[in-house]
Amino acid sequence: MVRMYFGTEAKITEFSPSIAGSYRIIISDGGASREMYLMSDLQSLIEGKLYTPLIRSAASAHGISALEKYTQRNQAVDKAANFVKSSVESINKDKSITVNTAASLLDGGFKDLRKTEQPAKYKVKDSREISAEFYQMITELQNITVGSSKKEIYLFIDLNCPACRKSEPRLKPFIERGQLTVNYIPVGFLLDSYERKNKEITDSEAKAMYALIPQSEDKRALLLQTLLSASHVDELIDVEAPQALRNRGYKYMKENTLSFFKLPVPATPMAVYLSNGYPRFKALSENNTTPSKLTDLIEQIDDVDS
């Protein structure tokens, strides 16, 4: 197709996935280069530069400072996702666990959440929705429930995420007034920026693991308050939990994190809730957690049957 359009001398020097199902193509045409985009119909080509915050290549930033920052952010997200996925894939469940190892998956009942066994029967109608099957999976993840309202959200958080720390006190008044229930789902999303004593898991993974160790909601809620901090886990946990408990918490954390990376937009804090019977997701950034914005959000959330 390229040669039909640009002659027999045209050669493809780069071909990579781009946004909205398109592909970025660099075509060499007698020494000159053309930047093209193959549309999702796999027949139509558009020539020109693409400007979008979704880019992951420094070359696609076209020297624009703001886009270069988006590139770095997106590359960091990809790196974190690949790190978590590769760490899960590399774990051998038959391998014996040493006393100093906090990374283990138990033999029983672990489900690979990255694989879809059969096509979803539920179709989403816009980009703010997720499938009913995925929503059901999220409701079954290990979480920390705070509040008793029939209006509830499932909130993916990284305990090292500054935006997550800011959202918690903003949500608290609505929880205390009985207007909202928050099911916090801790994940190991952010990578370390310092050297931990135990390098086998990241600080975010370790915090999420410890938050999910207690069986009672009250103890989990208290531990959440302790761990939702800028301090490192080594500074917050004085006595290391027994190996069996760490294994259990680690298993829950990995299941949560794998589900988190299946979200259309894996970012924290990310709320998932029902609105008019449809599962939706919304990032609770600082701009979205003002009292008025939270009031508007709560009004959209369906009451959940007891």
Start-end of H helices in the chain:
2-6, 65-89, 132-139, 162-176, 203-211, 217-227, 233-236, 243-260, 291-300
d(CA 88, CA 251): 10
* Distant-in-sequence, close-in-space partners of 23: CB < 8 Å, separation ≥ 6: 15, 16, 17, 37, 38
Cα Dmax for the chain: 71
The pairing of strands 181-186 and 152-157 is parallel
Give the model's pLDDT for residue 186. 95
Average pLDDT over residues 189-213: 78
- 246 and 135 together in one domain: yes
| pLDDT category of residue 10 using cuts at 50, 70 and 90 | confident
Position 30 in a domain: yes
Q: In what order do the strands lie in the sheet with 23-29?
A: 11-17, 23-29, 32-38, 45-47
Helix (H, G, I), strand (E, B) or coil at 34: strand
Q: Is the pLDDT of residue 105 over 50?
A: no
Give the CATH number, domain containing residue 237. 3.40.30.10
| pLDDT category of residue 158 using cuts at 50, 70 and 90 | very high
Q: Contacts for 19-23 with beta carbons within 8 Å, 24 or more apart?
A: 19/50, 19/52, 19/54
- 111 and 192 together in one domain: yes
Position 97 in a domain: no
- 147 and 6 together in one domain: no
Percent of the chain with pLDDT over 70: 74
Give the model's pLDDT for residue 114. 44
Position 253 in a domain: yes
Q: Is the pLDDT of residue 20 over 50?
A: yes
Percent of the chain with pLDDT over 90: 34
Burial 255-272 (b: 16+ CB within 10 A, else e): bbbbbbbebeebbbbbbb
Q: Is the pLDDT of residue 147 over 90?
A: yes
Q: Contacts for 136-143 with beta carbons within 8 Å, 24 or more apart?
A: 137/113, 137/259, 138/185, 138/259, 138/272, 139/183, 141/185, 141/252, 141/255, 141/256, 141/259, 142/185, 142/212, 142/252, 142/255, 142/256, 143/183, 143/184, 143/185, 143/256
* Phi and psi torsions of 186, nearest 5°: -70, 135
- 15 and 136 together in one domain: no
DSSP annotation of 151 reads: B
Averaged confidence pLDDT in the chain:
79
Position 189 in a domain: yes
- 187 and 283 together in one domain: yes
- 24 and 140 together in one domain: no
CB 2 within 8 Å of CB 10: yes
* Distant-in-sequence, close-in-space partners of 18: CB < 8 Å, separation ≥ 6: 24, 37, 50
Domain hosting 37: range is 2-50
Q: Is the pLDDT of residue 300 over 50?
A: yes
- 12 and 125 together in one domain: no
- 46 and 110 together in one domain: no
Q: Is the pLDDT of residue 104 over 80?
A: no
The region of weakest confidence among 122-126, 202-206, 261-265 is 122-126
The region of weakest confidence among 84-88, 119-123, 168-172, 174-178 is 119-123
Which amino acid is located at 140 in the chain?
E
- 134 and 279 together in one domain: yes
Average pLDDT over residues 78-98: 59
Give the model's pLDDT for residue 97. 39
Q: In total, how many domains does the chain have? A: 2
- 112 and 190 together in one domain: yes
CB 274 within 8 Å of CB 256: no
Residue 46 host element (H or E): strand 45-47
| pLDDT category of residue 144 using cuts at 50, 70 and 90 | very high
- 283 and 154 together in one domain: yes
Position 73 in a domain: no
